[in-house]
Every structure is written in structure tokens, then in C-alpha cells.
């Protein structure tokens, strides 16, 4: 039998209290709620709530059967993430615990299982209280942890003799061939005559290279060197993936198989300060991502995790993301592999270093992170220092050593805010907040140097702030990126941050949100988001043009009559009411180094008195031109009154597993379909019995926009979501199909 990995997310029971008999086989389950994973221990409003609202102990229980045919096999339960301490019991027996919510753990439950028609019970006590002994806690933290079994769980059934782990490294790579090393670790009692067959399979399913080797000793890693001719390399602009299938074979029978997708690429930071991928320099242009979402914290299913990667890559045009400040969902990283988004991943922590027990867990976190993620081509560096902590020579010597022992293919970084702190890592990774309000960052003070944060708290900006602030915010992001592009020996820079996020009472705007994102907490763009999008290569990612303004009468008072236009086109033609005004060139004076400098123009300069725009109810269009061809257009129109609500769902179909979910955005528009940025109106939702609405209802729009999430139940059919507001005429409606889920369990 080959391995069986089964989804274990469905049909759990949950109670948000520490019932005394939660671990027992016979427990009164009448007060438990039927739920599926991922699950948050508490649904919260998107702001104005208390951290203590999710800090409590809860119980999760699940009844399950294991077929008789698996008797004699090894059975493991694998948790991708439980916040913060999980104690696991099977059929009333204590099996083990895990501390820390950002890394996975796996427990062998074979000895406690009953087979056939017998009922088994897994019970998990989840302690989501504050735990100063576990990173990142111990002092104040500028983000929220939330609680619950908030990531996937699965069951793994293997033979007693099986593959424990496989590590894949690209050793040599050029145009003609790749040499990879594959190290396989086995577990169990060795069977004589066993072999390891490893196949590298291309996207068409063809085996393009393979190797077979006898298993000599199982205490040591089994190393295979495989050559792949004419490799298709992995790069953000062409993220080719291969499947690696490792089989443990005895007498022509496959005892186990271990499959994963990976890419052929090399990464390093050169002595010239540049970041190299496949031997070619690449400027890293990124933002930081917190994994939390409104209402549910981190508890979003794979679909929504994957969507975040898509937003970063395609809506924000980035080539790199830092998973501040902890390892994020596996599905997020898998999507980064698929679409070509580089990732700097780091251990949990924020400014504070605790005692020895705390440091022990932090070192475990380094191990767990690297063992989980070292086969992802998207990851180019490990963060092995607590974000912005002080020096600790011994501790960080150890975290670096662990990282280098477990993965020799990637450098380490350690994010700091002190320029004279000790550099034990391979790359000096620095949060630079010094001259950001002048649109500047500092020059490198080390040969391998990456700016890991800028701007954030220096200029928090809400999506509904005044126009001038939104423009300034976007312009500062543009100026700072321009500076980093102008410093050739700087590897790159990632701004703080991609999305607004929930934070603790010591931080943010007093409403539990840090408004530091270029997009809001619902991932809806502020002007700065359009700047990032405009830096992506038009040939690969599409031509783009965006006028960072509103056409409102107060335009003049706030911003003079200047227009700031973000575009990746060669030039932009400006029109007023379809009358051509001027062909604009990028502003290379203020932005000499950006791949695609913004365009800036004063209307007066092009012969337009802004009063005319108002009086004549004019509209302004920017048309992006590449090689003489008009390829993108954005029009600002004078605003009318609220007319209708536009509902948009990120997906058209959900699994009926009770945990699947998608974002539904809502915007109030006028008759011209322009979103009304000051229409902070209430929206009332109605959902049919097939789905669950996650979000505020009524929801007050911010900057004329907002979002809720729609979650499946265990019912098939269709979900219908309707939205209305007293300020618009018609009701809006969307439908989602529900897919059956038999495939998901046993």
C-alpha cells in the first residue's frame, strides 16, 4: 500500500469553554456546535474588539472510523496550525501537545485506534490564552494571534516502514542541465531488498529523469543525484514546476510514495549586493503580509490563502513578499510556487526575546519552519532572528546554525532596526524607517543588504482618509521604491505593508487596526496599491494605467490641480471629455530609477482651468500607450448619487465541506459605475440557508467599499447572497454553486 493522506477538516464538534470532560470518550456533546476546519474560536467584528475576546480555552472533538484494511499500518494525525497550545487525546488517551500556533505538528496515534465499525474519538484542548513563554508573546506585539484549530488537519496512513521526509536541492543549474540532490529519510524497520526510486516529472506528466538506489542503512539520509536535461527553470516570470515522486519499493511493490512539486532554480546574494536567481540579478520589490483576515483572524481555507498570493502578485505587481512575522499557511506558499512570488519566511516573534524555555521554542520554530518548507522554490531566505529584537549572540548563533544545517541552499537573514547590530546572518535585513517621510531610505552598510520594511507607522493611511493623504501615501511608496531601484548594490526592499491588519491595544489607531496597508483589511486597494501594480512588466502582466485622484469639487483645494498617474506604459495621453490634451512622459526627474515612473501633470499646464472641469461636468481620461498603441485606459468622472451596489465574489463555487469560504466585495456606485469614495452607507445582507455569512450585517462601507465572506455549510445546492441599502434603489444578488465533497474523507 502506498501512503494515504486524508482531509480531516470536516464534521468536528466545538465548544468555546474548558469543559472538564472534553478529553473523555463519554462527554456530554449536546452543547457542542458542529463545525469544520479551519476554524476560529471566536468570530469578531473587523475592528473595535478586545484581544481578550479570543483568549480562552476551548475543545474540539471529532468522531471517526478507520477501515479494517489499515490495521497494522502507522496512523498519524497532522495539524498545520493550532493557536496556541494544543493537547491531543485519542479515545481518552493523552497523545501529545504542541506549543506555538504558527508551525505544524504530527502525532502517531496508531496505538489508540480501533478499526472497522468502531467509533474513534479525537479530542483537542486548544488553549488560546496569552502565553508569555511562547513566541511571539512575552511583551507587546503589533499583531493579533487569534485562536482555534485555524489551519488544516489531515490523517496520514503509511506502512510501518515508510518515508519520513524528502529534501530537494538544486546543486547546479544552467541552460542545458540541472543537477539536483534528493535526500530521503526513512522510518521504521528496514526490509531487506528495499530500494528508493525517485522520478522527476514534468508538467505534461512525463518522467524526465529518474534514479533508483538500494537502501543500505536507514539511519542515514539516502542521497540521490539526478540530472535533468534542458531544464525549464523556476523564476517569478516563468514559474515552471516539476513533480518529484519518491517511492520506497520492496520486491516490486511500492511500500510508500512521497510526492511534492518543486522548481529548478538557484538563489544567492552576490558580493556586489545584488540578489541573483538562476545566475541573473533581480531587484526584489515587495511588501510584508500578515496572515490575518477580518472577522476570523488566520482561520481561512486554502482558497482564500491562495487568493492572497494572487492579490500580491497580480493586483500589487510584486515579485516578493515577506511573511511577517511567522511561517504562513502551506497553501499560501504553494500558490507562491505556482505563480512565481518569491518569499522571505521568518520565525514567529516581535521585538521581545524571552527566557530559555521561550528560546527553546523559537529554535524549534526554526526547525519546524525549515523542515516544512525547504522544498518550496518560492522561498529564497530564512528569517532566523526575532523581528526587531536586540542582539543575542548565543541565541542567534544557534538559530543560524540550525538553519544552515537543515538547508544549505538558502541564506539566512535576521530582521533588525539597529544598524550597528551584530550580523550573524548571511544577509543584513533591515527595517528602515528613518527618512521615509522625505521619500528616502538609507544606503547599504553591508554588502548583502535587503530593506525589509519602510513607511508603515510613519504614514498610516485609511482608505477613507482625505484625498491628499491617499496621494501622499502612494507617492511616498513610489519615492522610496525609486530610491532602492537607484542603489544597485541593494538587493531590494519590501514596504510595510500589503494589507491593513488587526492589532493589539498598544498599536494602531485605537480601533485594533493598523492602517499601514497599501490595501485595506479586506484587501481592497488604496492609491498606493496602484503604484505597486504599475511597476509590473506590461508584456508579462498587462498594461496598466490609474489616475490617483477623485474627480470631486474639493480637488483644487486639497491638491492643487495636479494629477498623479501610475502606469507601466511608455507614455500616457490625457483627454478631457474625449478631447486630446497632451501626451505625457514619465516623471524621470523625481523618479529617475523606477522601472515605470509615475506621470504627473498640472491641468493648468495643459490649458485646463479646473473650474471648467467642474462647470462642464467634464471627465478626464488617461490612456496608456506602448509602442504607439493604446493599451490601457482609466477615466475619472464627476460623481453622481449612490445608484446601486456591486457585489463581486472571488469564486463561483465552494466545497460543501462547512469550512470553504470566499470573499464577496461590495461597492456603492453611481450611474457611471464610479465607486463613491465618501459613501459610508450601510449595506444589509441576506443569505439563504445553504451558506453562512461571515462579517458584519449591516456592514458600513468604508470609502464606498467593504467585504464579507461567504462560507459553505454541509449542504449542496446554491448559496444566494443579496445586498441592499436604504440609499440605493435595487437589491443586488450573487449565487455560488456548492460542490460535493465525498472525496474528502475515507
**Interface positions with ligand GAL (CB under 6 A):** 142, 324-325, 387-388, 431, 453, 456-457, 496, 516
Closest CA to 348 of 141, 136, 138, 148: 136
Which residues are marked as active site?
Answer: 388, 453
State the nearest-atom distance from the C-beta of 579 to ligand GAL, in Å: 44
Q: Which three cell numbers stand for residue 246?
A: 519518491
In whole angstroms, give the CA distance from residue 291 to residue 288: 10
Q: What is the CA radius of gyration of the chain?
A: 27
Decide if 479 contacts 441 (C-beta within 8 A).
Answer: no
By C-beta, is 456 or 691 nearer to ligand GAL?
456
Q: Which is nearer to ligand GAL, 461 or 567 (CB)?
A: 461
In the complex, the smallest distance separating the C-beta of residue 451 from ligand GAL, rounded to whole angstroms, is 12
CB-CB contact of 184 with 212 (8 Å): no
For residue 8 the three cell numbers come to 480531516
Would you say 491 and 284 are in contact if contact means Cβ atoms under 8 Å apart? Answer: yes
Q: What is the DSSP letter of 558?
A: H
Round to whole Å and give the CA distance between 347 and 327: 6
Helix orientation angle between 356-373 and 393-406, rounded to the nearest 10 degrees: 20
Q: Shortest Cβ distance from residue 497 to ligand GAL (Å)? A: 7
Residue in the structure block whose three cell numbers are 475515507: 746
Q: Which residue lies nearer to ligand GAL by CB, 315 or 453?
A: 453
- Residue nearest ligand GAL by beta-carbon distance: 456
Give the three-state DSSP class for 556. Answer: helix
Nearest approach, Cβ of 507 to ligand GAL (angstroms)?
7
φ, ψ dihedrals at 590, nearest 5°: -85, -20
Comparison of 142 and 308: residue with beta carbon closer to ligand GAL: 142
Cβ(739)–Cβ(653) below 8 Å: yes
The residue (of 413 and 706) whose beta carbon lies closer to ligand GAL is: 413
**DSSP secondary structure code for residue 341 in this structure:** -
Q: How far is the CB of 387 from ligand GAL (least distance, A)?
A: 5
Among the listed residues 395, 384, 325, the one whose alpha carbon sits nearest the alpha carbon of residue 354: 395
Q: For residues 728 and 670, give the distance between their C-alpha atoms in angstroms, rounded to a whole number.
A: 9
Q: How far apart are CA 108 and CA 102, in angstroms?
A: 20
- Measured at the CA of 587, the angle between CA 586 and CA 589, to 5 degrees, comes to 140
- The strand pair at 449-453 and 492-495 is best described as parallel
Nearer Cβ to ligand GAL (458/744): 458
Q: How far is the CB of 71 from ligand GAL (least distance, A)?
A: 50
- The least distance separating ligand GAL from the CB of residue 288, rounded to whole angstroms, comes to 7
Nearer to ligand GAL, 375 or 431 (CB): 431
Which CB sits closer to ligand GAL, 125 or 387? 387
β-pairing verdict for 57-64 and 661-669? unpaired
- The C-alpha atoms of residue 203 and residue 171 are separated, in whole angstroms, by 21
DSSP letter at 465?
Answer: S
Q: What does the alpha-carbon distance between residue 110 and residue 257 come to, in Å, rounded to a whole number?
A: 20
As measured in angstroms, the least distance from the Cβ of 155 to ligand GAL is 36
Amino acid at each position: 500500500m502506498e501512503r494515504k493522506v486524508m482531509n480531516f477538516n470536516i464534521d468536528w464538534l466545538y465548544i468555546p469553554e474548558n469543559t472538564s470532560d472534553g478529553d473523555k470518550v463519554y462527554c456530554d456533546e449536546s452543547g457542542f456546535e458542529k463545525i469544520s476546519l479551519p476554524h476560529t474560536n471566536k468570530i469578531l467584528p473587523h475592528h473595535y474588539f478586545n484581544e481578550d475576546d479570543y483568549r480562552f480555552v476551548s475543545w474540539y472533538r471529532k468522531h471517526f472510523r478507520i477501515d479494517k484494511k489499515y490495521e497494522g499500518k502507522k496512523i498519524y494525525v497532522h495539524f498545520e496550525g493550532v493557536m496556541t497550545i494544543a493537547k491531543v487525546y485519542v479515545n481518552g488517551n493523552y497523545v501529545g501537545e504542541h506549543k506555538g500556533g504558527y508551525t505544524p505538528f504530527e502525532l502517531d496515534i496508531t496505538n489508540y485506534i480501533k478499526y472497522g465499525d468502531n467509533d474513534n474519538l479525537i479530542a483537542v484542548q486548544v488553549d488560546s490564552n496569552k502565553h508569555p513563554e511562547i513566541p511571539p508573546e512575552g511583551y507587546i506585539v503589533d499583531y493579533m494571534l487569534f485562536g482555534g484549530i485555524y489551519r488544516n488537519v489531515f490523517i496520514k496512513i503509511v506502512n510501518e516502514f515508510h518515508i519520513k521526509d524528502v529534501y530537494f536541492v538544486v546543486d547546479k543549474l544552467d541552460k542545458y542541465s540541472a543537477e539536483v540532490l534528493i535526500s530521503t529519510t526513512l522510518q521504521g524497520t528496514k526490509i531487506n531488498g528495499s530500494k528508493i526510486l525517485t522520478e522527476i516529472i514534468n508538467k505534461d506528466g512525463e518522467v524526465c529523469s529518474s534514479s533508483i538506489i538500494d537502501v543500505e542503512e536507514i539511519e542515514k539520509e539516502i542521497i540521490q543525484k539526478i540530472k535533468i536535461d534542458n531544464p525549464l527553470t523556476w523564476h517569478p516570470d516563468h514559474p515552471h514546476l516539476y513533480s518529484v515522486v519518491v517511492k520506497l519499493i520492496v520486491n516490486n511493490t511500492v511500500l510508500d510514495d512521497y510526492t511534492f512539486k518543486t522548481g529548478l532554480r538557484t538563489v544567492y546574494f552576490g558580493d556586489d549586493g545584488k540578489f541573483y536567481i538562476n545566475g541573473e540579478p533581480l531587484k526584489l520589490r515587495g511588501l510584508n503580509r500578515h496572515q490575518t483576515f477580518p472577522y476570523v483572524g488566520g482561520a481561512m481555507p486554502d482558497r482564500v490563502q491562495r487568493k492572497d498570493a494572487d492579490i500580491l502578485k497580480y493586483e500589487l505587481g510584486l515579485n516578493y513578499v515577506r511573511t511577517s512575522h511567522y511561517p504562513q499557511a502551506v497553501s499560501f506558499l504553494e500558490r507562491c510556487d505556482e505563480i512565481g512570488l518569491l518569499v522571505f519566511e521568518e520565525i514567529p516573534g516581535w521585538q521581545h526575546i524571552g527566557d530559555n524555555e521561550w528560546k527553546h521554542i523559537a529554535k524549534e520554530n526554526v526547525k519546524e519552519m525549515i523542515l516544512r518548507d525547504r522544498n518550496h522554490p518560492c522561498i529564497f531566505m530564512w528569517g532566523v532572528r526575532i523581528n526587531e529584537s536586540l542582539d543575542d549572540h548565543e541565541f542567534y548563533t544557534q538559530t543560524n546554525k540550525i538553519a544552515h544545517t537543515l538547508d544549505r541552499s538558502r541564506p539566512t537573514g535576521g530582521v533588525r532596526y539597529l544598524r550597528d547590530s551584530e550580523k550573524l546572518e548571511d544577509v543584513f535585513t533591515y527595517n528602515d524607517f528613518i527618512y521615509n517621510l522625505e521619500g528616502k531610505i538609507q544606503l547599504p552598510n553591508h554588502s548583502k543588504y535587503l530593506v525589509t520594511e519602510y513607511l508603515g507607522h510613519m504614514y498610516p493611511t485609511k482608505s477613507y482618509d482625505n484625498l491628499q493623504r491617499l496621494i501622499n501615501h502612494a507617492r511616498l511608496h513610489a519615492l522610496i521604491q525609486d530610491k532602492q531601484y537607484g542603489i544597485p548594490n541593494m538587493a531590494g526592499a519590501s514596504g510595510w505593508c500589503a494589507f491593513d491588519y488587526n492589532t493589539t491595544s498598544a498599536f494602531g489607531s485605537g480601533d485594533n487596526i493598523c492602517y499601514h496597508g497599501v490595501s485595506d483589511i479586506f484587501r481592497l486597494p488604496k492609491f498606493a496599491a496602484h503604484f505597486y501594480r504599475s511597476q509590473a512588466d506590461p508584456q508579462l502582466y498587462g498594461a496598466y494605467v490609474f489616475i490617483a485622484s477623485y474627480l470631486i469639487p474639493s480637488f483644487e483645494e486639497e491638491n492643487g490641480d495636479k494629477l498623479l498617474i501610475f502606469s507601466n506604459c511608455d507614455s500616457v495621453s490625457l483627454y478631457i471629455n474625449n478631447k486630446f490634451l497632451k501626451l505625457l512622459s514619465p516623471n524621470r526627474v523625481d523618479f529617475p530609477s523606477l522601472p515605470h515612473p509615475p506621470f504627473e501633470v498640472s491641468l493648468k499646464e495643459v490649458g485646463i482651468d479646473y473650474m471648467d472641469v467642474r462647470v462642464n461636468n467634464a471627465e478626464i481620461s488617461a490612456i496608456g500607450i506602448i509602442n504607439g498603441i493604446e493599451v490601457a485606459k482609466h477615466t475619472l468622472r464627476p460623481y453622481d448619487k449612490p445608484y446601486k451596489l456591486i457585489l463581486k465574489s472571488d469564486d463561483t463555487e465552494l466545497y460543501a465541506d462547512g469550512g470553504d469560504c470566499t470573499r464577496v466585495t461590495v461597492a456603492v456606485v453611481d450611474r457611471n459605475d464610479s465607486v463613491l469614495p465618501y459613501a459610508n452607507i450601510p449595506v444589509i445582507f441576506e443569505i439563504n440557508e445553504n451558506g453562512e455569512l461571515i462579517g458584519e450585517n449591516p456592514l458600513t462601507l468604508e470609502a464606498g467599499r467593504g467585504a464579507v465572506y461567504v462560507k459553505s455549510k454541509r449542504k449542496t445546492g446554491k448559496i444566494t447572497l443579496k445586498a441592499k441599502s436604504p440609499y440605493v434603489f435595487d437589491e443586488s444578488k450573487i449565487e455560488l454553486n456548492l460542490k460535493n465533497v465525498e472525496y474528502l474523507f475515507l
